[in-house]
Chains A and B, each alone.
Chain A
Amino acid sequence: MERIAAQLGRAVQGKPTQVQDVVTCLVAGGHLLLEDVPGVGKTTLAEALARACALSFARIQFTADLLPADILGAQVFHAPTATFTFRPGPLFRQLVLADELNRAPPRTQSALLEAMAQGQVSMDGNTLPLPAPFTVVATQNPVDFSGTYPLPDSQLDRFLMRLSLGPPAPDVEARLLSTRGAHAPLDAVEAVSGPEEVSALRAHAAGLRLDDAVAEYVVRLAVATREHGDIERGASTRAVLALGAAARARATWEARDFVTPGDVRALLVPCWAHRVLLRSAVQGVSARDEAAHLLEEIARKVPAPR
């Protein structure tokens, strides 16, 4: 994992924690939602991830006229044999970058999200499995909402984590300016792993020990979000499971074979901030910042096992 992260660090500089979270998400077997203003390297990050792990990669630019068939694939008429054959769409890759997901109409979004949830594509009565490991990295631009179809809350739940990269530190930006001309950042990324290794990592992470005390801690955090006065809808059971899976994946970082409360706390905001629905969108404060703020407050209030 460190190797993958190091390769990613070459492409996206100055973001060690976010890079760590991205790899955690990959190892946990979840899908990732990157939400940030344009131009901070969302796409670069996803591509670098594909390269470092030697995963087959496809980038789908979501637009208003994109139809489900455009991403899933379509039956085409094969004239010589006079039969219909299935031509798989760009979705049949191990790592799919769904760029500007919220630009596509809801029908297309749900086709993608269904594929994400099931790991397979159903079309015309045929069920076609997607390649393993299958990971979707979706991006969306939180600022310019005009002409977009925001993702419904229930579909946000399908993403294991939501991350935002944020602008790089000034010194990193300065270094970027000086080196960018020399070579493209993606060229520096070498394949250090393979799909088999990613699958093995996933299997390993899923088998890690989650102590009863830590499990209870996760549940108590979920109950706290459900009972919090400012939260309309707290963390769901799927959210609890997601946090557990992510915490397991994070434990592999330190070569631990058990999950600590610190893992849970570190992943609380990326895993849950997009899953809780706030009661009141306080004017002037963006809902995502508010959710993160509330979750941190909850993490402070709920006593961790010692």
Chain B
Amino acid sequence: MNAPAPRTFRARLRAWLRPPRTLRVTRTGRTYLVVTFGVGLGALNTGNNLLYLLLGMLLSMVVVSGVLSERCIGDLSVRRVGADAAFAGEPFAFRWAVSRKKGHGFALTLSEADVPLTGEGRVGHLPPGTEAIVRADLGASRRGPMRLTGVRVTTTWPLGLFAKTRVLPVEGLLLVYPQRSFACREPVTSELGPAGESGNPRRNDGTGDVTGLRELAPAEDARRVHWLKSASQGKLLKVEREREERRTYQLSIESGLSGDGLERRCEEVAAQAHRLLADGHEVGLDTPSTSLRPATGTAQERRILQALAWLGFEDTRASEAA
């Protein structure tokens, strides 16, 4: 990263205010503490030694709980393994790999810290020396690049009385694609009509190159029978040929859009691109900042989605590149 800048007083204060561990009392823990308090009062009032013994047990359980959870959550290392394509507004699979050198970890809950990502992953038991892959369905509410700063690890081990949280700093970047929705508008008309040589792999009922042989199903056109192969196999085989129909579309996002309008337009373009690419057409994209040449295939769809996701966050990208 950058050279360490002199830490300002504010940064130091923030670091001090946000210690590496945070502790939250669960509902069970609240009841437990109330009972402990009651037992303590009873012990002091009556001088009943057995109540003192019980109080000692309750209090030392609190201490042991703290020690065990600290041992559980300390000495952890986390890295992000990867994510499926993340679309805004729908859950996507996300994975972390957690490991520790020695000592067992129990009941760990992982989530991304300080970013608007919902969802968490759980791991019940983390033996020492092995790396566990924790899978979670995360949800992002909006499109765009998301800078990930750290992974929040929480445990309620051992007794579920306190939830101890630790944020492990792991830098990362998650690109959230625009929401998958239905495009209301028809795409602009195609720029290029059918082009002879290029086959459309999605339609196998054309007149172009052979894509495969299938057995002839009932109610299918007998003219498609490949007689040579049928004779050698002793059964009717149908030849499938590519349909040589492919159009080229150039989708564009007008400059000057912002806020909700931009989001809506991004979603729409993404949906149009998906549909057109699924139909086997060539699709290109023009945005105020970038432009993509028309192409086909899933790779092109990913390129378009990436371009759409970065739209409006170009300055982040610039700093990323630097």
Chain A interface (Cβ within 8 Å of chain B)? 63-65, 67, 69, 74, 105, 146-147, 227-230, 279-283
Are the CB atoms of B212 and A229 closer together than 8 Å?
no
| Nearest A residue (CB) for B212 | A64
Q: Chain A: interface secondary structure?
A: loop
A-B pair number, CB within 8 angstroms: 51
Whether, in the assembled complex, B130 has its beta carbon less than 8 Å from a beta carbon of chain A, the answer is yes
Given A146-B297, A283-B84, the answer on whether A64 and B133 have CB atoms closer than 8 Å is no
Are the CB atoms of A65 and B84 closer together than 8 Å?
no
Q: What are 11 A-B residue pairs whose CB atoms fall within 8 Å in the complex?
A: A63-B210, A65-B213, A65-B226, A65-B229, A147-B201, A229-B97, A230-B97, A230-B131, A280-B81, A280-B133, A283-B84
Contacts A64-B213, A64-B240, A229-B131 known; list 16 others, CB within 8 Å: A64-B211, A64-B212, A65-B226, A67-B229, A67-B233, A105-B212, A146-B296, A147-B211, A228-B131, A229-B99, A229-B130, A229-B132, A230-B97, A230-B133, A283-B84, A283-B85
In the assembled complex, how far is the CB of residue B182 from the closest CB belonging to chain A, in whole angstroms? 25
Q: Which residues of the other chain, A, contact B128 by a CB distance below 8 angstroms?
A: none
Are the CB atoms of B213 and A67 closer together than 8 Å?
yes
Compute how far the CA of A219 lies from the CA of B82 in the bound complex, rounded to whole angstroms: 29
Are the CB atoms of B82 and A282 closer together than 8 Å?
yes
Are the CB atoms of A280 and B82 closer together than 8 Å?
yes
Are the CB atoms of A74 and B232 closer together than 8 Å?
yes
Whether, in the assembled complex, B136 has its beta carbon less than 8 Å from a beta carbon of chain A, the answer is no
Given A229-B132, A282-B81, A282-B82, the answer on whether A69 and B213 have CB atoms closer than 8 Å is no
Whether, in the assembled complex, B83 has its beta carbon less than 8 Å from a beta carbon of chain A, the answer is yes
Our pick among A65, A146, A228, A282 for the contact of B212 (Cβ within 8 Å) is: A65
Whether, in the assembled complex, B239 has its beta carbon less than 8 Å from a beta carbon of chain A, the answer is yes
> Which chain B residues in 43-88 approach chain A with CB under 8 Å?
81-85
> Which chain B residues in 194-212 approach chain A with CB under 8 Å?
199, 201, 210-212
Whether, in the assembled complex, B95 has its beta carbon less than 8 Å from a beta carbon of chain A, the answer is yes
Compute how far the CA of A202 lies from the CA of B145 in the bound complex, rounded to whole angstroms: 56
| Nearest B residue (CB) for A63 | B210
Chain B interface (Cβ within 8 Å of chain A)? 81-85, 95, 97, 99, 130-133, 199, 201, 210-213, 226, 229, 232-233, 239-240, 296-297
Q: Which residues of the other chain, A, contact B211 by a CB distance below 8 angstroms?
A: 64, 147
In the assembled complex, how far is the CB of residue A111 from the closest CB belonging to chain B, in whole angstroms? 14
| Nearest A residue (CB) for B132 | A229
Compute how far the CA of A245 lies from the CA of B199 in the bound complex, rounded to whole angstroms: 44
Our pick among B81, B85, B212 for the contact of A230 (Cβ within 8 Å) is: B81
Q: Which residues of the other chain, B, contact A105 by a CB distance below 8 angstroms?
A: 212-213
Q: Which residues of the other chain, A, contact B95 by a CB distance below 8 angstroms?
A: 280
Q: Which residues of the other chain, B, contact A64 by a CB distance below 8 angstroms?
A: 210-213, 240
Q: Which residues of the other chain, A, contact B213 by a CB distance below 8 angstroms?
A: 64-65, 67, 105
In the assembled complex, how far is the CB of residue B72 from the closest CB belonging to chain A, in whole angstroms? 19
Compute how far the CA of A230 lies from the CA of B79 in the bound complex, rounded to whole angstroms: 12
Q: Which residues of the other chain, A, contact B130 by a CB distance below 8 angstroms?
A: 227, 229
Compute how far the CA of A281 lies from the CA of B210 in the bound complex, rounded to whole angstroms: 32
Compute how far the CA of A227 lies from the CA of B201 in the bound complex, rounded to whole angstroms: 40
Q: Which residues of the other chain, A, contact B229 by a CB distance below 8 angstroms?
A: 65, 67
Compute how far the CA of A281 lies from the CA of B82 in the bound complex, rounded to whole angstroms: 8
Compute how far the CA of A227 lies from the CA of B233 in the bound complex, rounded to whole angstroms: 47
Are the CB atoms of A65 and B239 closer together than 8 Å?
yes
In the assembled complex, how far is the CB of residue B236 from the closest CB belonging to chain A, in whole angstroms? 14
Q: Which residues of the other chain, B, contact A67 by a CB distance below 8 angstroms?
A: 213, 229, 232-233
Compute how far the CA of A105 lies from the CA of B213 in the bound complex, rounded to whole angstroms: 9
The 4 closest A-B pairs by CB, nearest first: A229-B131, A282-B82, A64-B212, A147-B201
In the assembled complex, how far is the CB of residue A231 from the closest CB belonging to chain B, in whole angstroms? 11
Q: Which residues of the other chain, B, contact A69 by a CB distance below 8 angstroms?
A: 232
| Nearest B residue (CB) for A282 | B82
| Nearest B residue (CB) for A69 | B232
| Nearest A residue (CB) for B80 | A282
In the assembled complex, how far is the CB of residue B100 from the closest CB belonging to chain A, in whole angstroms? 12
